[in-house]
Structure 1
Amino acid sequence: MFDPTAFDNLKVIFEGAVYDLDLSGEIHILDRKDLFDFAHYERCYQIHYSLPYKESISIEFHLKADMGHFLAERKMMTEKNTAGADILIVYKGDEKLKDGRKLLEETWGKDKKWEWKEVISSLNPPACEGNLTFNRVITEEMVDDVLQMISFSVETLQQLDRIDF
């Protein structure tokens, strides 16, 4: 029988919470990917969503685990528990997202790490991307934190929608 990893358990909870929001009409799921990189022994589950009526700004929520996470779980390392997954939240949008940068940074809190990118394309209009990372490994004991991150991400999309850029 298959023994699910912490990543698998977090993924099931994470996926269920996002699909519940989609079914209730609060968000619209645009895409999802469940990836396994055999060369690096990494897993990544990502789901891309927006508000149902506004796809110009969206979120890609990534749940990632690498070999270190899996080895920590199998060897049951207790000194520094890295059994679990990392979370990356990617805000994607048009140039208006750049104007919402300060709002997002203040709303999520100053203890988070942001990377902002501007995408200039010869084929598409300019775009903006904000990558939000957290300074901790998410473990199975932090399921409530993951659920709060998902809810909070939807709230931030709603806040951005209310701003008149």
Structure 2
Amino acid sequence: MHFKELIRSRYSVRKYHENKVNRTLLKEVVNAGRLAPSAANRQPWKFVVVDEDDVLEKVKTAYSRDWFDKIPGVIIIYGNHEESWKRSYDEKDHCDIDIAIAIDHMTLMATELGLGTCWVCHFNPEVINGIIKNEEGLEPIALLTIGYPQEIKAPEKVRKNIDEVLTFNSL
């Protein structure tokens, strides 16, 4: 798939078939995140794929939405703010930025493989920490649902016109 087609066809999937994604494909998706650039190449991330039903049922309690109860799998993305690069001028922490780039790489790879994803940030991190044994310094930053979408065609995207978001040389 050409890149322009790929970015147009990716969308947030909230209806999945119940079939599980095999671990070979899951590794391909996570590997795309692993290969993402990060500030100063710090790679302040860890990824936990949850595909076993007993663990998945517990993870589902971290985000109370009907559609989330029906997901076949999820990737928990952790960030380490102690390892991430900080800008020297103001100590701006780039951990969340690095994680966002990694997740974007994973969503695009999943789309190329015929999988669907939905990036979830509004979840209870304490619930996740109670389920997955956490390492010192790691914070669960996002959940990325993953599975085979029920609808292949992406819905119409509503985006601002390029002239509303782009200027040259000044705001």
TM-score by length of 1: 0.33
Higher strand share: 1
TM-score by length of 2: 0.33
Which one scores higher on RCO, CA 8 angstroms, separation ≥ 6?
A: 2
